[in-house]
């Protein structure tokens, strides 16, 4: 109707008003669990979800430090809690998730970290190998540091 | 220009968040399996002798250890924040909650960083 009015030449520009109707573009609806359909998608989401276990580990390491700060009694209570069967079983799962994170992370590192030496790219295997070597060295150092004197 | 003021600012924050995510992912991959394997599995199971309270307290209070622990805890949290944010975005397709999720995840990581600093340099 309004268009007709302007076509007739009677309406000025300020009178042109748009209807609140907003056309939506076509978008295929994706089911929420789209990533269960294919192995590679499931692996991708599993890899992304390892971040939850990274956060859990950071939080519990914080709790362990707090117990350490509170003194020997609080720390003993913490280490006793660690020996519970459900806690142990859960921590096996956490450990596996962290391993999965580490392996997938070092697998992606050569593609994110492209190093040029003398105008040539370092081969992926060398970058990945350096990460694995660093992992082994730091793991050995940390394990040596936090294992008790016995 | 004034109309697009918000967009470039948000875009320029992304490299920093990605750098924190990346550093946290590397540090978590390098250090966490060993720490969890020894402190929460091998020691409680009695496979290796557990470090005493005095031993660990002395170790953790070393200046280099404090710095390492702070970097580890903080960056691991920012790694989680960034990755989990995009997991919710891609996996559950919560596009309309993008802003809220970002505030919650990076906010939690920031709070965790402050807590970690207090824990490591004040309490410990």
Phi/psi at A26 (5° precision): -75, 125
Q: Is B93 left (phi over 0), alpha (psi -120 to 50) or beta?
A: left
pLDDT of residue A6: 44
Question: What ipTM describes this predicted complex?
Answer: 0.90
Q: What digits encode the pLDDT tens for the residues A67-117? A: 999 999 999 999 999 999 999 999 999 999 999 999 999 988 878 777 788
Q: What is the pTM of this model?
A: 0.83
The reported pLDDT for the residue numbered A30 is: 78
Phi-psi region of A119 (alpha: psi -120 to 50; beta: other; left: phi over 0): left
Q: Does B51 touch chain A (CB under 8 A)?
A: yes
Which is higher by pLDDT, B97 or B46?
B46
Stretch (H or E) spanning B74: helix B63-91
Taking an 8 Å cut-off on Cβ atoms, the answer to whether B116 and A149 are in contact is no
pLDDT band at A120 (very low <50, low <70, confident <90, very high): confident
B34 has a chain A CB within 8 A of its CB: yes
Conformational region of residue A148, where left means phi above 0, alpha means psi within -120 to 50, and beta covers everything else: beta
Confidence of residue A22 (pLDDT cuts 50, 70, 90): low
* Both tokens assigned to A90: 């859960």
Contact B119 A55 (CB under 8 A): no
**Contacts of residue B60 in chain A, CB cutoff 8 Å?**
65, 68
């Amino acid at each position: 109707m309004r268009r007709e009015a302007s076509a007739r030449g009677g309406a000025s520009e300020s009178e042109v008003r748009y209807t609140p109707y907003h056309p939506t573009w076509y978008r295929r609806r994706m089911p929420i669990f789209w990533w269960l359909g294919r192995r590679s998608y499931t692996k991708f989401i599993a890899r992304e979800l390892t971040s939850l276990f990274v956060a859990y580990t950071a939080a519990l390491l914080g709790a362990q430090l707090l117990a350490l700060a509170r003194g020997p009694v609080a720390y003993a209570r913490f280490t006793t809690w660690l020996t519970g069967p459900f806690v142990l079983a859960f921590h096996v799962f956490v450990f596996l998730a962290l391993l999965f994170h580490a392996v997938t992370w070092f697998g992606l590192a050569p593609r994110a970290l492209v190093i040029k030496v003398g105008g040539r790219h370092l081969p992926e295997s060398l970058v990945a190998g350096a990460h694995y070597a660093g992992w082994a060295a730091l793991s050995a150092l940390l394990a040596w540091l936090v294992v008790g004197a016995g | 220009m004034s109309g697009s003021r918000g967009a470039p600012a948000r875009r320029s924050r992304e490299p920093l968040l990605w750098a924190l995510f990346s550093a946290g992912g590397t540090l978590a991959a390098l250090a966490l399996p060993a720490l969890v394997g020894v402190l929460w599995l091998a020691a409680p199971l009695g496979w290796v002798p557990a470090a005493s309270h005095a031993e660990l307290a002395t170790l953790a209070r070393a200046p280099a250890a404090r710095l390492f622990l702070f970097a580890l805890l903080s960056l691991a949290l920012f790694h989680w924040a960034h990755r989990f944010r995009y997991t919710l975005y891609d996996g559950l397709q919560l596009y309309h909650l993008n802003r809220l999720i970002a505030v919650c995840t990076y906010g939690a990581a920031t709070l965790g960083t402050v807590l970690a600093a207090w824990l490591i340099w004040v309490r410990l």
